[in-house]
A and B are shown apart, each in its own frame.
Chain A
């Protein structure tokens, strides 16, 4: 039960921490990007430590869940659009 609680607690942090990885792609200032990512990794480490050994699965699952959901959403929308399934109605 507490693993599930950590899963829920970790979800918003997972989004924030994973976004930090993209700073490396998006930002010119790589030093600042690495620094920003480091803080986030530290936050992730804090979460894992707080969760303890028995609840670590909850934290890790949150990260996996966000990655899967983000990728599915992203690829799903792209698939809908490129195959013409995402289409707005039009009245002439």
Chain B
């Protein structure tokens, strides 16, 4: 055993410059301290102490946990007394492995860190920290390294815990690559552990080289690791007050201060850094810095074989990846012609090319699959035609009956599905997977088609073919008719449930309006949570009654409603109240009456068509297109109820698992796969088996969320559209029109989307939850979408010019810029 005198040294000691003695992290903290960064006081338990307790340590063999030597116990007691002298109650114990935070590999998050350590559990935290050197995560990380560092050992930092009210990470170079020449700050409430573990969607701030805020994305921070424990034995993860969840953690000055501190660390360390920071009582602390070696968590290491292209109909509703449980359940019902890659669904280009009976270039096929631009000229491939005909014949004979049934679904009977959902929800013996099967597939063919919203929804997609047919016919029947006006003829009208939902929100605003106190409270810019305002109302208040009725009809909806981890509106109504708030704003402009516009366009079409039977045929086609568009929107309303039921089933399961001690935290279940949940349920697995998995998947998921989805894999063609020229961005027209207005970039409709009447809505994608923003918008510009996407369908309902598939618009257009949108010609430009 080595000299115990060398086992503990204060971080201020010059010996801490030696990373062979104190590990990479402690050596860097010492360097920061010397450079006058505000580093919390700390001591280091050196590598010599580790070596004395684990003299034969090798990576391949995990030893028994060592008993701490008495000398070290005494030293730890002294350290605790010294560090808690100035009133600090808790310490933090951090790993500082010899190979940690090196220039080549960071080992970020692979070893243990312990918060809220007091005198009683300090010794255990140190031994646990040492043993984390052999954790499965660290072992896996070492295996992945091409040139694993031969230095194997760990020092431990015992540091005063900063009781941070806000904390986060600052990357001096944006590691996601979204903004060149920018630093990226991620911030959340409370301690940074919630962020590092991927438990919260943090705020993101991008700052330029002058430390000015260029862009920000405010996350919804539902949970935080509390800076002060109310009950030391209780939960450390606590809910963030509703009013704070969607508020910015940092103001621009504070963000600038963090970025400057990180830039100083980067200059000191001689390269881009990833700096952990914290604010406590207004003072900024530097907790740690490490070189940016790569993305903090690799998105994936698995090779991808074959050619794949993004399945647009899902991604145009939300471009974030699905959580692991959503992927694992949905992959059990989706056709195997696709593949989930990094949480997103892709179609096989190879399979498509074999099935389609056309001579088609890869680039054209990909454009077709991405629903981008005009349809390519198709030439029939006679060699493939027999195969296609055979497949179509088999398809028609085997499922043609369902095709016919889907053509005449009575819209009002779709509510049958709601009853079915309630029955399945009430069935205690039906788990999430069984509910998925029951809600998406009928037991026998003699159940009414209206009970199967999902099949009806897929069946309704045929309007895409009908539109193609109508366009081809009109080329012959009415060559002089301007086909860009066709979109105005597809308006479904009052039966569309998305439209009824918007009307219901407008009615909620009408109910609130006579109560001026309520209106003032909802419109106040004091950051108060609208939910708190509504909760304070008298239970007999008419607004509460109307709100309850709204939730009964639409409470199952949400932003990103396909994902099972997303809270539904009935769980978190803040997004709805935000929309009501938008409707209460004065000076809302009344839109154009789409019905009269449609009639006028129909007249124009009739005049352009020469014969009566041609008119009749065009009208029949238009009626069918309108019916299928409405059917598709309405079935979406209902089949999302199925997602809400499955989520509820998962929540029940999670509550039981937490009660049994097999899971620790809420929302962890969404980072498991179904066999793992089943294993936990029957007791074949426990918390130890899934803890690391959950942590790794959470962090990977957060990184995947940071990165825009890859449009394709292994394709020789560039699927992206041309870069913007001279401030002009191109896209596809979903509803024609030309307008000018002020840009309002909205990344999440529930996060205080302060859209003023006449603003141009710039969105990454839209789904039904975005619909209530539409009536306020003068035009809509969407990053991902197509003519058939939700944005296009609803924009046509309101006759709002809409441009879709405008690459990079949310990143490069800024709120407040003046824009001109020419949706008819397919471009948007920045005027001022």
Contact = CB atoms under 8 A, between A and B. Distances in A.
Contacts of B589: none
Contacts of B404: 15-16, 19, 22
Interface stretch (B326-334, B524-532, B616-624): B326-334
- Chain A CB within 10 Å, residue with most, of B334, B339, B397, B437: B397
Nearest to A22: B405
Contacts of B327: 90
Interface stretch (B135-143, B263-271, B446-454): B446-454
B555 interface: no
Given A28-B410, A28-B413, A88 B398 contact: no
Contacts of B324: 92
**Interface range on chain B (Cβ under 8 Å from partner):** 35 or more
B408 interface: yes
A12 B300 contact: no
A23 interface: yes
Contact of A26 (B336, B340, B408): B408
Interface string A60-92: 000001100111111001100110101111111
Contacts, number: 106
Contacts of A84: 332
Interface in B162-203: none
B397 A91 contact: no
Contacts of A15: 396-397, 400-401, 404
Contacts of B330: 88
B441 interface: yes
Interface residues of A, number: 32
A31 interface: no
Contact of B405 (A11, A26, A69, A86): A26
Nearest to A65: B397
Contact of B331 (A27, A77, A87): A87
A70 B408 contact: no
Contacts of A11: 397
B342 interface: yes
A48 interface: no
A65 B393 CA distance: 13
Contact of A73 (B304, B333, B398): B398
B335 interface: yes
Contacts of A88: 330-332, 334-336, 338-340
A72 B398 CA distance: 8
B499 interface: no
A76 to B, nearest CB: 9
A82 to B, nearest CB: 5
A80 to B, nearest CB: 10
Contacts of B399: 70, 73-74
A1 interface: no
B437 A22 contact: no
A91 B335 contact: no
Given A15-B400, A19-B404, A69-B397, A90 B331 contact: yes
Contacts of A25: 446-449
A59 to B, nearest CB: 15
Given A88-B339, A92-B342, A19 B401 contact: yes
- Chain B CB within 10 Å, residue with most, of A72, A78, A88: A88
B339 A89 contact: yes
Given A27-B410, A74-B445, A92-B324, A18 B401 contact: yes
Which secondary structure dominates where chain A touches chain B?
Answer: helix
Interface in B443-490: 445-450
B402 to A, nearest CB: 8
B409 A26 contact: yes
A81 B332 contact: yes
B332 A70 contact: no
Interface string B339-352: 11111000000000
Contacts of B413: 26, 28
A91 B300 contact: yes
B300 A92 contact: yes
Interface string B27-43: 00000000000000000
A65 B398 CA distance: 10
A86 B336 contact: yes
A87 B436 CA distance: 14
Contacts of B398: 69-70, 72-73
A92 B397 CA distance: 37
Given A22-B405, A81-B441, A90 B339 contact: yes
Nearest to B397: A69
Interface in A1-47: 11-12, 15-16, 18-19, 22-23, 25-28
B319 to A, nearest CB: 18
Given A91-B300, A91-B342, A19 B332 contact: no
Contacts of B302: 91-92
B581 interface: no
B702 interface: no
B700 interface: yes
A22 B341 CA distance: 39
A90 B410 contact: no
Contacts of B441: 77-78, 81-82
Contact of B445 (A69, A71, A87, A89): A71
Interface string B371-414: 00000000000000000000000001111110111001110110
14 contacts: A12-B400, A15-B397, A26-B409, A27-B410, A28-B412, A69-B398, A88-B336, A88-B338, A88-B339, A88-B340, A89-B331, A90-B331, A91-B339, A91-B341
Given A66-B401, A89-B336, 6 more contacts: A72-B398, A73-B398, A81-B437, A87-B331, A89-B339, A90-B331
By Cβ-Cβ distance, the 6 closest A-B pairs, closest first, are A19-B404, A73-B398, A15-B400, A90-B340, A88-B331, A19-B401
